Amino acid sequence: MSTSRPRRVSTFAAAALISTLALAACGSSDDGGDAAATNASGVTTIESGKLKACTHLSYKPFEFKEGADVVGFDKDLTDLVAKKLGLTQEVVDIEFATITSGAAFAAKKCDMGYGATTINEERSKAVLFSDPYFDATAALIAKKDGGVTDLASLKGKKIGVQTDTTGQEFAEKNKDANGYEVVVFDDLPTQLAGVLSGRVDAAINDNGPLLDYAKDNPSTSVVKEFDTGEQYGLMFKINDPNGTKLAETANEVLKSSQTDGTYNTIYKKWFGVDAPKK
């Protein structure tokens, strides 16, 4: 479904954000700090020896902080890409919309991006996606004693969504037919806190993080799943030879990890079960 954020981002605001990042990139070019470097694979990265990866924390178990470290399923997969290139991954925590809009790449904030990000037509106009690496299902979470069983049971109630996600799109699309109010949150933790506090009666997001949350918060339960046919992809700079090379490398890594069992090992580490058979 993807990831994150109360308030819709207007076209004007998005344009302003891209302009700001672009100016920041111009102002901090090559005059100081580490210069871009091309490694033995012919891939150029923003900083020598590093693969800078933009994401938006926190979206457990895909990317989140454990102590001072960023960990998670996406983080581990991207470490494989970095290893293939002979680099070390450096995570850049940034607003999710700046990644999916391509602004983060234009501003040279990162070499690639991830965030349990659903591949869709609109995003594919702004970023280059890798091959799909995860099949996702939308899910509805609520308190066990709240009487919520599906979207229809939310008539006259409130549903929480993360801004700039396909979960928000799904909730908005079905709002009139089911008669609920949509409340938008900046990120997953505040969205789920809204369920616990009673600010909203339910929340919709991807099943992975919601099942993980319900396991740790037994007063809540995933009450319904929706087969939306979504798939996640890693993100790279579009219409850019270097971005294309990075995406090709990622695709090679994803394919080989499926073959040699590394993908399954990582999947089982974070989800407790074997990866679904393709």
Taking alpha carbons only, the member of 179, 216, 178, 217 closest to residue 197 is: 217
Same domain, 151 and 172: yes
Residue 6 located in a structural domain? no
The predicted pLDDT at position 212 comes to 87
Burial group, residue 9, by CB count within 10 angstroms (0-12, 13-18, 19+): middle
Decide which of 229, 245, 263 is a domain's last residue.
Answer: 229
Residue 2 located in a structural domain? no
Regarding predicted confidence, which is higher, 275 or 19? 275
Same domain, 91 and 206: no
Same domain, 217 and 148: yes
Counting every residue written for the chain, the total comes to 278
User: Are 39 and 111 in contact, with CB atoms under 8 Å apart?
Assistant: no
Structure tokens that stand for 112 in this block: 């690639």
| pLDDT tens string 146-183 | 999 999 999 999 999 999 888 999 999 999 999 999 99
Same domain, 129 and 147: no
The predicted pLDDT at position 130 comes to 99
The predicted pLDDT at position 35 comes to 61
